[in-house]
Amino acid sequence: MKLRRVAAWVCLGAVLFLGAGNGYGFDQGQLKQLLTSNECPGCDLSGASLSGANLSRSNLAGANLSGAYLSDANLAGANCSKANLSGAYLNSAYLANADLTDANLADAKMFLVILVGAKLSGAVITGARLSAALYIDGQRCAEGSVGECTR
C-alpha cells in the first residue's frame, strides 16, 4: 500500500514536470513564423529563446514575450507596441527606434540595452533593471537604475 502511494506521487510528479515543458506556453509554429517573416503580432512567445536573433523592423505588436530570452537581440525599429515583455531578458539588446508604446517591461532585465530613439510612451517599466542602459535621449543610466533611468 505504501509502495503504491509512493509510485503514484512519482508518476504525478513526472506528469507535472514533463507536462510543464519549459514553463511557458509559446507556440513553436509562431516562433518559426517570426523567424522567417519578422511578423508575429499577438503571438505567444512567452519564455522563447531569441537571444542574438535579428528581429529588426519586426512586427510584435501585442505579442506575449514575457520571460523571453532576448539578450543581444536586434530589435531596431521593431513594433513592440502593447507587447508584454515583463520579466524578459533584454541585456545588451538593441532597441534603437523601436516602438514600445504601451508595452509592459515590468521587471525586465535591461542591462546595457540600447533604447536611443525608442518610443516608451505609456510603457510600464516598474522594476525594470536599466543599469548602464543607453536611454532614449542617448544618456547612460546609472548603475543600479531600477524602474527609471537615474543619472
Over the stretch 44-83, which tens digit does the pLDDT of each residue have? 999 999 999 999 999 999 999 999 999 999 999 999 999 9
Contacts of 10 (CB under 8 A, 6+ apart): none
Can you give the residue range of the structural domain that contains 44? 27-151
pTM for this prediction: 0.82
Q: At residue 11, does pLDDT exceed 50?
A: no
Is 21 within the bounds of a domain?
no
Task: Report if residue 138 sits inside a domain.
Answer: yes
Residue 16 maps to a domain: no
pLDDT per residue as tens digits for the range 98-133: 999 999 999 999 999 999 999 999 999 999 999 999
Residue at 2 is within a domain: no
pLDDT in tens, 14-25: 333 333 344 557
Angle at 142 between CA 136 and CA 144, to 5 degrees: 115
Q: Is residue 143 part of a domain?
A: yes
**Residue 22 has what pLDDT?**
45
Over the range 57-74, which residues count as b (16 or more CB within 10 Å of their CB) and which as e? ebbbbbbbbbbbbbbbbb
How many structural domains is the chain composed of? Answer: 1
CATH code assigned at 58: 2.160.20.80
Q: Say if 10 falls within a structural domain.
A: no
CB contact at 8 A, 91 and 109: yes
Can you give the pLDDT at residue 24? 53
Q: Is residue 147 over pLDDT 60?
A: yes
* pLDDT band of 9, cuts 50, 70, 90: very low
